[in-house]
Chain A
Amino acid sequence: MALDNKDVADIAHLARLAVEPQDLDHYSAELTRILDLVEQMSAVDTAGVEPMAHPLHVAQRLRPDQADEPNRRERFQRIAPLTEDGLYLVPKVIE
């Protein structure tokens, strides 16, 4: 599976990563090489094999829907790049 520069630009957009146009060739070559490695999987017959999502095949634990952690908003917001009045600040989204 070879990826071209347009594929890489699309993937980078989905992943919200800025990629400079001059780096696209490099990324498409590297990602293609990794996908060539991954391609070995296609030779394996997996008809009827159940996908394995958890090594120990256990189900997700449930707990009562009650808040049990203290509210530590001030502590957590102290490490934010930009806040004001307890809110996170980002560039204007709606004009």
Chain B
Amino acid sequence: MHDMTIAELAAGLRAKQFSSRELTQHYLQRIDAVDPGLNAFITVAADHALDAAGAADRALAAGEAGPLTGIPIAHKDIFCTDGIKTSCGSRMLDTFIAPYDATVVEKLAAAGCVMLGKTNMDEFAMGSSNETSWYGPVRNPWDETRVPGGSSGGSAAAVAARLCAAATGTDTGGSIRQPAAFCGITGIKPTYGRCSRWGMIAFASSLDQAGVMARSAADAAAVMTAMSGFDRRDSTSADEPVPDYSAALDDDIAGLRIGLPKEYFGEGLDAEVAAAVEAAVKEYERLGASVQQISLANSPLSVPVYYVVAPAECSSNLARFDGVRYGHRCEEPRDLEDLYKRSRAEGFGAEVKRRIMIGTYALSAGYYDAYYLKAQQIRHLISDDFRRAFEQVDVIMGPTTPSTAFTLGAKTADPVAMYLNDIYTIATNLAGLPGLSIPVAPARGLPVGLQIIGNYFREGQLLNVAHRLQQATDWHRAAPPATA
């Protein structure tokens, strides 16, 4: 059952080949058997899942089922889940039982999805390898000596290893697309504001966006349709209609204009990754697309800009963790300042502290213009590059990451080396554009991601373009050894 697509699972449930309860039990057993080797889950919510499955079975029996009724999913542990531990990968929130559901969680539950549990992640979504989690690293199902990417590494590994049919993720600088590339799955980061941020623990509020990780564009489209949409509780939620993303999947892509940014194919890109991406672009030409080179001249500046904007916003957002209202509190504080300082020092890990300090510095008196304001100005230039590119092309393609998954521990000693993993994904977040990663031909036995970037609110087109490739090729069907 765990190899079936969401549409196949929905059909199986309707035809009574299996019940939602049986499907849920099957996935829970797989998690028990496979996850000890991967560490993809922080919390398995078996009782909650079986209750939700019972409700799904009643909806199916009553003829009230939708396309996601009874489909087993997992949520990244950054989304608040009412009555269930929501740790954000941090010791700070190790004891935090969320008192409400995030909007995304609420919407997917209303659509009938069965949540199996909460997935591991880099602490507060700060990391590119899932090694900053308080709960230990996640292992890549393709090679357990390698990282799954991050920060949504647990969701990526769980989907790749068939421990859930799909999972939510969040993407601030590449945290859906990079782990999707490393684990050989499909991951979409929608336009900024497309999915509500309410109940999604904040990292960098002008960049954070929820999205979907699944085994195909068709599966991702079904979940995206259910979780997108305006939410008055999120002040930056986009008040734009949500199309049925599944309806446009089969649209013809003849005449599609693809742009290849020359900055995404230069120095630092692994030759085999480049070859795999070029082979996928050739496939698009066979499907009737035209290809031209474009330039995103300011995109090499996206990493420096990001490491001002994201830490600045993180230092402000994480000021709420004060040891008073919820979260970790130190033992026997001497006074209020000691309570703040020690609770935060004990509750946060090294990477989170580094980013809080960089952000605090960038926002401090006398430095604001040189850092934050300057970064916001260059952010404008990066965004303008995309605006000009989309006057010439419909979508932009390139590698998702400069290399395939690296080994555990390879980049933990040097934060800057780790940051450069996101060199091709960050610009999309700075501009607020939608981006997606799909698996193409592997390199040395490891998955490679093709990144496709679209214009604002063109998620439907991205999923359509991805789906057409997945109809013509079988790269996305490759399964890691851990699924056996």
Contact = CB atoms under 8 A, between A and B. Distances in A.
B392 interface: no
Interface string B293-327: 00000100101110110000001000100111111
Contacts of B344: 15-18
A48 to B, nearest CB: 9
A91 interface: yes
Contacts of B414: 33
A88 B340 CA distance: 14
A67 interface: no
A91 to B, nearest CB: 5
A49 B338 CA distance: 43
Contacts of B206: 53-55
A89 B238 CA distance: 39
A2 interface: no
A72 B298 CA distance: 48
A56 B99 contact: no
B125 interface: no
B142 to A, nearest CB: 30
Contacts of B232: 61, 63
Interface in A59-83: 60-61, 63, 72, 75-76, 78-82
A80 B377 contact: no
Contacts of B356: 15, 17
Secondary structure at the B interface, as helix, strand, loop or mixed, is helix
Contacts of A7: 361
Contacts of B364: 11, 14
B336 A17 contact: no
Given A15-B360, A31-B361, A60-B235, A93 B336 contact: yes
Nearest to B93: A79
A54 to B, nearest CB: 6
Given A37-B307, A56-B192, A15 B378 contact: no
B479 interface: no
Secondary structure at the A interface, as helix, strand, loop or mixed, is loop
B357 A17 contact: yes
Contacts of A88: 324-325
Q: Which of A34, A58, A88 has the most CB of B within 10 A?
A: A34
A11 B301 CA distance: 25
B381 A44 contact: yes
B336 A91 contact: yes
A55 B383 contact: yes
Given A30-B415, A81-B323, A90-B339, A52 B376 contact: yes
B434 to A, nearest CB: 11
B357 A31 contact: yes
B416 interface: yes
A52 B301 CA distance: 15
A91 B324 CA distance: 10
B253 interface: no
Contacts of B269: none
Nearest to A93: B336
A46 B327 CA distance: 41
Interface stretch (B56-64, B109-117, B171-179, B367-375): B367-375
A43 to B, nearest CB: 9
Contacts of B360: 11, 14-15
B341 A17 contact: yes
A50 B380 CA distance: 7
Given A16-B337, A55-B431, A81-B324, A30 B378 contact: no
B187 interface: no
Contacts of B305: 41
A39 interface: yes
A42 interface: yes
A27 B360 CA distance: 14
A78 B338 CA distance: 23
Nearest to B360: A15
A70 B379 CA distance: 39
A52 B308 CA distance: 13
Contacts of A55: 192-193, 206, 383, 430-433
Contact of B383 (A37, A39, A52, A81): A52
A39 B304 contact: yes
Contact of B357 (A12, A40, A51): A12
Contact of A90 (B193, B303, B324, B419): B324
Contacts of A12: 357
Contact of B335 (A30, A34, A91): A91
30 contacts: A8-B357, A11-B360, A15-B315, A15-B357, A16-B322, A16-B341, A17-B353, A18-B342, A19-B345, A33-B414, A34-B307, A34-B354, A37-B303, A37-B416, A41-B304, A46-B377, A50-B377, A51-B380, A54-B206, A55-B193, A56-B238, A56-B456, A63-B232, A76-B99, A78-B99, A79-B95, A81-B323, A90-B333, A92-B335, A93-B335
Given A30-B354, A46-B381, A91-B333, 12 more contacts: A14-B360, A15-B357, A35-B358, A35-B361, A40-B301, A41-B304, A41-B375, A44-B378, A50-B377, A55-B431, A56-B432, A93-B335
- Going nearest first, the 3 A-B pairs with the smallest beta carbon separation are A55-B432, A51-B376, A81-B329
